[in-house]
Chains A and B, each alone.
Chain A
Amino acid sequence: AIQMTQSPSSLSASVGDRITITCRASQGIRSDLGWYQQKPGIAPKLLIYAASSLESGVPSRFSGSGSGTNFTLTISSLQPEDFATYYCLQDYNYPFTFGQGTRLEIK
């Protein structure tokens, strides 16, 4: 199975900061990667699909980039509602695999 390694595992930041989360695949996955946001007690929400496409209704401060093995999720200016846990998911081949998550906390 393809391993997805996310970094950092946790991150403290302030409202207005620009942050980047990285996801690295153990082998090339083209652009078959999505980013999901999860808040405590709530189901995950799709933010980015196909590595860099913004899901409808998601604020433009979220962006994704990368292909092959290295991917990033960037939030350009953190808002209070962005403090959550973020996961990447590869759907290049089976079994699909998630990263271990990045917990974004308020500094």
Chain B
Amino acid sequence: QITLKESGPTLVKPTETLMLTCTFSGVSFSATGAGVGWIRQPPGKALEWLALLYWNDDKRYSSSLKDRLTVTKDSSKNQVVLTLTNVDPLDTGTYYCAHRRSGDGAFNVWGQGAMVTVSS
């Protein structure tokens, strides 16, 4: 059974760097095309895809955020880390990590989400 859980700060000041950790279990690192994605949702708004990290360390990013966004993994800790630099109040929202399944590429298991507020 695959599980994921996001953790990190709930409040970040403008211009600071946000780091969120996705801790997972039950995944297969050998599955081709599988990985972890990040998705966020501003309050009352739609989902926005942010990034995807494959187990082979290939990384893909949102066009609008690629200059501020980085995803890395620590396989020994079963963690994927999202780093967003120079945050703005518009970065406020719930951040989800989700498992991308091998083969069909669906995001089949999601974390519960982490609410982050950017405010001074």
Contact = CB atoms under 8 A, between A and B. Distances in A.
Interface of A: 1, 32, 34, 36, 38, 43-46, 49-50, 53, 55, 87, 89, 91, 94-101
Interface in B91-120: 96, 98, 101, 104-108, 110-113
B46 A44 contact: no
Contacts, number: 61
Interface residues of B, number: 23
A67 B40 CA distance: 27
Nearest to A1: B63
Interface of B: 37, 39, 46-49, 52, 60-63, 96, 98, 101, 104-108, 110-113
B106 A44 contact: no
Contacts of A96: 37, 49, 52
A95 B62 contact: yes
A44 B61 CA distance: 20
A2 to B, nearest CB: 11
B49 A53 contact: no
B107 A34 contact: yes
B111 A98 contact: no
B111 A43 contact: yes
A68 to B, nearest CB: 18
A46 B49 contact: no
Contacts of A100: 46
Given A1-B63, A94-B60, 20 more contacts: A32-B105, A43-B111, A44-B96, A44-B98, A44-B110, A46-B107, A46-B108, A49-B104, A50-B106, A87-B47, A89-B107, A91-B105, A94-B52, A94-B61, A95-B49, A95-B60, A95-B61, A96-B52, A98-B48, A99-B46
